[in-house]
Structure 1
Amino acid sequence: MSDQVESDETIAALREEVAQLQHAVFSHAIVDQAIGVVIAYGGVRPDTAWDVLKEVSQHTNTKLREVAESVVRWPHDGQLPEDLRSALTASVSRVNPQHRVVQPTSP
């Protein structure tokens, strides 16, 4: 194999790796924001909010990133899909029995 072909393959592999890392960083930021929303909504600790998001994802068969995106949009849009809302409320109520259901208001 020529040096040029190896170099081109290395560059392509590095570009793919950079794209994957960028996607991972963006997804992580969205999940962190969703954790903040769950903390505010449910009055729970960050590690518990993370567990709530995972549980909602599993119970609704929705990718965690998609759950996080919906939860982050919720305070702005004032809407959360009913299946996610039900799963979120149930999960928060299990971990925080004093939780009162509150609808976030849009700005």
Structure 2
Amino acid sequence: MTEQHDLVGRIAALQEEVDQLRRAVASHAVVDQAIGVVIAVSGLRPEQGWEVLREVSQRTNTKLRVVAAQVVRWADCGALPEPTRTTLSTVLAAHHPPLGRALVRRPYRPWGVAERERSPRA
């Protein structure tokens, strides 16, 4: 009976470990995408993009995967919540002074959105 109980406990522990690894892989993909966004808008190197995300996470006391998800959404829809927006602007300015503040202040608008907003709906 004890041997069977040990096996059940070991299986449960292994299932938990697999779940953690799955979450880590998914989180890693989002972080990589966010690094890509940061380097695309700033011209920084990948290791600097990582450092920017890490600093924003620390300064806002927000989990890195949450900051990364916000940055990826920002690239898609142009919305970046406070305080992530102001912190990202500050950190980018520190890493890339000529571009930093201007990059985050202007909301991103996908091509054609402004024209669609001005034209009356039929």
TM-score between both structures, scaled by the size of structure 1? 0.91
Q: Where do 5+ consecutive residues of structure 2 fail to align?
A: 112-122
Q: Does 1:53 align with 2:57?
A: no
Q: CA RMSD in A?
A: 1.5
Segments ≥4 residues shifted beyond 4 Å: none
Which whole-Å CA distance do the structure 2 matches of 1:29 and 1:5 have between them?
Answer: 37
Contact conserved, 1:39 with 1:49, CA < 8 A, in 2? yes
Would you say 1:7 and 2:11 are equivalent positions? no
Partner of 2:64: 64
Q: Which residue of 2 aligns with 1:31?
A: 31
Structure 1 residue aligned with 2:108, among 89, 99, 104?
A: 104
Identical-residue share of aligned pairs (%)? 51
Radius of gyration: which is bigger? 2
Partner of 2:78: 78
How many residues in Structure 1 have an aligned counterpart in Structure 2?
A: 107
Q: Residue type of the partner of 1:44?
A: L
Which ranges in structure 1 are unaligned for 5 or more consecutive residues? none
Report the Cα offset of residue 15 of structure 1: 0.1
Cα deviations by residue, 1:5-62 (Å, 9 ceiling, x for unpaired): 1111111010000001101111111111100011012110000011100111111111
Q: TM-score, normalised by structure 2?
A: 0.80
